[in-house]
């Protein structure tokens, strides 16, 4: 299966279990791997036969910058579900949501959740 990658998309959201996360918000990045058959798009040079990267970004932004969720697991699941709903040619996706400054003890570059979903 062919793959499209959207890496390190940057957003500001209000997700987390601590009240200050919901009030102050924080930076998130999202990495996507989209699986679809892209041979026709490549052979015809026709963008309508591929997945619109800009539309994928907007779907992702709408969720990450939308209503607060307790878990980034929920954010990742909502992104995957919306991508399948919006893009009929999408066969599978891997979604990684990175919380860049988690308010937990220790020193981290980020904490991430990654899911892989495919059409049933």
pLDDT, mean of residues 54-71: 98
| Count of the separate structural domains present in the chain | 1
Catalytic residue among 39, 61, 82, 99: 99
pLDDT cut 90: percent of the chain above it? 89
CATH of the domain at 60: 3.30.1130.10
pLDDT at 104 over 90: no
> What are the backbone dihedrals phi and psi of residue 117, each rounded to the nearest 5 degrees, phi first?
-130, 145
Boundaries of domain holding 41: 2-118
pLDDT computed for residue 53 by the predictor:
96
What are the tens digits of pLDDT across the range 23-35? 999 999 999 999 9
Residues near 8 by Cβ (< 8 Å), separated by ≥ 6? 29, 31
pLDDT at 64 over 80: yes
39 catalytic per annotation:
no
Instruction: Give the DSSP letter of residue 49.
Output: G
pLDDT computed for residue 102 by the predictor:
84
pLDDT at 120 over 80: no
Are the CB atoms for 82 and 104 separated by under 8 Å?
no
pLDDT, mean of residues 45-73: 97
């Amino acid at each position: 299966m062919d793959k499209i990658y959207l890496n390190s998309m940057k957003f500001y959201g209000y997700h987390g279990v601590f009240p200050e996360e919901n009030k102050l918000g924080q930076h998130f990045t999202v990495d996507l791997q989209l699986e679809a058959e892209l041979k026709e798009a490549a052979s015809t040079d026709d963008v309508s036969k591929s997945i619109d990267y800009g539309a994928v970004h907007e779907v992702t932004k709408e969720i990450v910058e939308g209503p607060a969720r307790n878990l980034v697991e929920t954010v990742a699941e909502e992104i995957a579900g919306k991508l399948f709903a919006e893009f009929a040619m999408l066969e599978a996706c891997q979604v990684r949501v990175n919380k860049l400054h988690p308010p937990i003890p220790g020193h981290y570059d980020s904490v991430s959740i990654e899911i892989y979903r495919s059409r049933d």
